[in-house]
């Protein structure tokens, strides 16, 4: 049985710009062939069983020759596999998708084209440069600055194109920028024509340089800008001063390390990236079910005799619910029980399971939670929690007269992978902030740093703790806490980081 090949445009770099259909193709792929400019984050959308094979091309450096790439696609699909060919930008705009599709048709292999947002459209948009504008440009041309090496002469008359259209967008032309400038001048473009280069458009490390046709080559060399970059020529470049938006975000240009467990990190990562940060995920812990679930099962069986359940985290909800499902029960098991949630994330986890908490504690410290909950004298209270949970909450409830059943719903264990990237960035001074969401993340992060060099580098980095408890643990371990979020919520931590860097 023949498979199928999806030629998928990965878009310009921001993974959120992938199309819905592109995501669906990745989610059902048996194998993924990906290019250098496809954001590697997108590979996580493919099933774990699917091999990810790098076949990237950067300038003259080709990991796999095009002819071989064509045959690999034919071979994989002929073996009955669902193949995703993930290409930066759009497959049919200087992406060689047409050549690959021709070979697939010749071999009788079914294929579909999944367009992507092209980089010469998205990059300028993220730089605040519209390609057309009623007052400045009614026409635009997309031109490659890098033709086939075997061509004896160029088929691109850049001078004529520059004279015929208002805006010229040139891809893959940085290496021959001086020649491009000469061609445009010969075609009649004024030396004062505005020019911009947008490097790594739509990504957190995006750089934009604005110059003129006369000075751009020297300015680019002085700035050390290189590929990949889009060259934009035309009066619309002048609108950047008014329309810039992406690189004016409060955390733009800041590289932030997130040490939270991978399954919990998405909300914090999303908040930071939305604020413009370049986020490095370096999980130092993971959660897993408790090895012995009998105590938790007994507590669930005793819910009809329980007055109140206090959920301390989204994980406490998740792992209790896993046992509820395993016991073939549902949310009705909490009927008649008063439910308390600590923090908005815990509240959201309950709402997702059809349970509206009767009480949501705004304060995250155990002492404040006990005070907020109020009178618990004589109540039977269940507290599902982590194995390393602090004792203050349970002690406080008992001091208030409650009969407390504290059960381990899940375990928190170290989960530190290869620290090479983080250590290198730290020692090179290329990290602006490290975020910690629990005492365990602090302890495990420090344990992952070899020797003193990387740890000493933390003295020059913003150390951000999610709340006073985590901040206190970080200080106990010798760190200088720069940012302390007022509450143990990722929203609070993100806002505190933004306040810190904008005040700088």
My answer on whether 322 and 396 are in the same domain is yes
Residues catalogued as catalytic: 35, 57
> What's the rounded mean pLDDT across residues 219-246?
96
Residues 6+ apart with CB under 8 A from 158: 143, 168, 170, 180, 183, 184, 187
pLDDT of residue 365: 59
List the CATH number of the domain containing 378.
Answer: 3.40.50.10090
Q: Identify the domain boundary among 66, 98, 117.
A: 117
Query: How many independent structural domains does the chain possess?
Result: 4
Q: Report the range out of 179-183, 344-348, 358-362 with the highest average pLDDT.
A: 179-183
pLDDT of residue 477: 93
Of 219, 271, 275, 220, the C-alpha closest to 247 is: 275
My answer on whether 42 and 153 are in the same domain is no
Can you tell me which residue has the tokens 């995703």? 84
What percentage of the chain has pLDDT greater than the value 90?
A: 75
> What's the rounded mean pLDDT across residues 140-169?
82
pLDDT of residue 60: 52
> What's the rounded mean pLDDT across residues 174-184?
94
My answer on whether 339 and 191 are in the same domain is no
My answer on whether 233 and 338 are in the same domain is no
- Tens digit of each residue's pLDDT (9 = 90 or more) over 3-16: 999 999 999 999 99
249 touches 273 (CB < 8 A): no
Of 168, 3, 169, 174, the C-alpha closest to 73 is: 3
My answer on whether 307 and 361 are in the same domain is yes
**pLDDT at residue 218 above 70?**
yes
User: Measured between alpha carbons, how far is 107 from 78 in angstroms, rounded to an integer?
Assistant: 9
My answer on whether 292 and 228 are in the same domain is no
**pLDDT at residue 35 above 50?**
yes
User: Measured between alpha carbons, how far is 432 from 501 in angstroms, rounded to an integer?
Assistant: 10
Count other Cβ atoms within 10 Å, centred on residue 26.
24
My answer on whether 405 and 440 are in the same domain is no
Q: Identify the domain boundary among 389, 414, 439.
A: 414
> What's the rounded mean pLDDT across residues 350-377?
80
Cα 277 to Cα 123, 203, 250, 269, 305, distances in angstroms: 17, 10, 8, 9, 49
Of 480, 390, 389, the C-alpha closest to 434 is: 480
List the CATH number of the domain containing 59.
Answer: 3.40.1010.10
My answer on whether 111 and 126 are in the same domain is no
Residue 203's H or E segment, with its range, is: none
Range of the domain at 359: 288-414
3-state secondary structure of 102: helix
My answer on whether 277 and 316 are in the same domain is no
3-state secondary structure of 281: strand
Tokens found for residue 350: 């309950």
Q: Identify the domain boundary among 364, 386, 414.
A: 414
pLDDT of residue 487: 82
What percentage of the chain has pLDDT greater than the value 70?
A: 95
My answer on whether 327 and 408 are in the same domain is yes
Per-residue HEC secondary structure of 142-193 comes to EEECCCCCCCCCCCCCHHHHHHHCCEEEEECCHHHHHHHHHHHHHCCCCCCC
My answer on whether 279 and 422 are in the same domain is yes
pLDDT of residue 152: 46
User: Measured between alpha carbons, how far is 258 from 268 in angstroms, rounded to an integer?
Assistant: 8
- Tens digit of each residue's pLDDT (9 = 90 or more) over 74-91: 999 999 999 999 999 999
pTM of the model: 0.82
Strand pairing category for 403-414 and 4-9: unpaired
> What average pLDDT is seen over the chain?
91
**pLDDT at residue 470 above 60?**
yes
> What's the rounded mean pLDDT across residues 65-82?
94
My answer on whether 421 and 406 are in the same domain is no
Count other Cβ atoms within 10 Å, centred on residue 184.
24
pLDDT of residue 363: 60
**pLDDT at residue 343 above 70?**
yes
User: Measured between alpha carbons, how far is 218 from 424 in angstroms, rounded to an integer?
Assistant: 31
pLDDT of residue 58: 59
Residues 6+ apart with CB under 8 A from 482: 433, 462, 463, 464, 500
């Amino acid at each position: 049985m023949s498979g199928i090949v999806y030629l998928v445009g990965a878009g310009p770099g921001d993974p959120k710009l992938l199309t819905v259909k592109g995501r669906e193709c990745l989610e059902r792929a048996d194998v993924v062939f990906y290019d250098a400019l496809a954001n590697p984050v997108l590979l996580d959308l493919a099933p774990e069983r699917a091999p990810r094979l790098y076949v990237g091309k950067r300038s003259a450096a080709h990991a796999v020759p095009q002819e071989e790439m064509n045959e690999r696609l034919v071979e994989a699909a002929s073996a009955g596999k669902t193949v995703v060919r993930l290409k930066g930008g759009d497959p049919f705009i200087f992406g060689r998708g047409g050549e690959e599709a021709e070979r697939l048709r010749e071999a009788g292999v079914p294929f579909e084209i999944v367009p992507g947002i092209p980089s010469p459209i998205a990059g300028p948009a993220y730089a605040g440069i519209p390609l057309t504008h009623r007052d400045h440009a009614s026409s635009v041309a997309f031109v490659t600055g890098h033709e086939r090496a075997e061509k004896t002469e160029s088929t691109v008359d850049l001078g004529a194109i520059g004279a015929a259209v208002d805006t010229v967008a040139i891809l893959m032309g940085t290496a021959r920028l001086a020649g491009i400038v000469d061609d445009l001048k010969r075609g009649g473009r004024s030396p004062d024509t505005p020019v911009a280069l947008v490097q790594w458009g739509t990504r957190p490390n995006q750089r934009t340089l604005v110059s003129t046709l006369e000075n751009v080559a020297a300015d680019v060399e002085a700035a050390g800008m290189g590929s990949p970059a889009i060259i934009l020529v035309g009066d619309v470049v002048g609108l950047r001063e008014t329309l810039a938006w992406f690189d004016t975000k409060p955390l733009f240009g800041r590289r932030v390390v997130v040490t939270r467990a991978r399954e919990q990190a998405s909300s914090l990562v999303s908040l930071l990236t939305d604020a413009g940060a370049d986020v490095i995920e370096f999980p130092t812990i993971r959660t897993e079910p408790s090895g012995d679930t009998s105590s938790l099962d007994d507590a669930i069986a005793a819910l009809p005799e329980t007055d109140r359940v206090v959920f301390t985290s989204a994980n406490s909800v998740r792992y209790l619910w896993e046992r509820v499902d395993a016991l073939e029960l549902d949310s009705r098991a909490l009927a008649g029980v008063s439910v308390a949630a600590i923090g908005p994330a815990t509240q959201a986890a309950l709402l997702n399971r059809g349970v509206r908490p009767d009480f949501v504690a705004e304060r995250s410290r155990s002492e404040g939670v006990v005070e907020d909950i109020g009178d618990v004298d004589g109540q039977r209270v269940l507290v599902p929690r982590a194995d390393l949970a602090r004792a203050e909450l349970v002690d406080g409830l008992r001091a208030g007269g409650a009969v407390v059943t504290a059960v381990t719903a899940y375990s928190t264990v170290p989960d530190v992978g290869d620290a090479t990237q983080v250590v290198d960035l730290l020692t090179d001074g290329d990290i602006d902030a490290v975020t910690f969401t629990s005492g365990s993340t602090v302890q495990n992060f420090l344990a992952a740093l070899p020797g003193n060099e990387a740890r000493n580098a933390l003295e020059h980095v913003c150390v951000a703790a999610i709340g006073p408890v985590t901040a206190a643990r970080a200080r106990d371990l010798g760190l200088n806490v720069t940012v302390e979020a007022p509450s143990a919520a990722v929203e609070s931590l993100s806002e505190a980081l933004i306040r810190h860097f904008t005040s700088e």
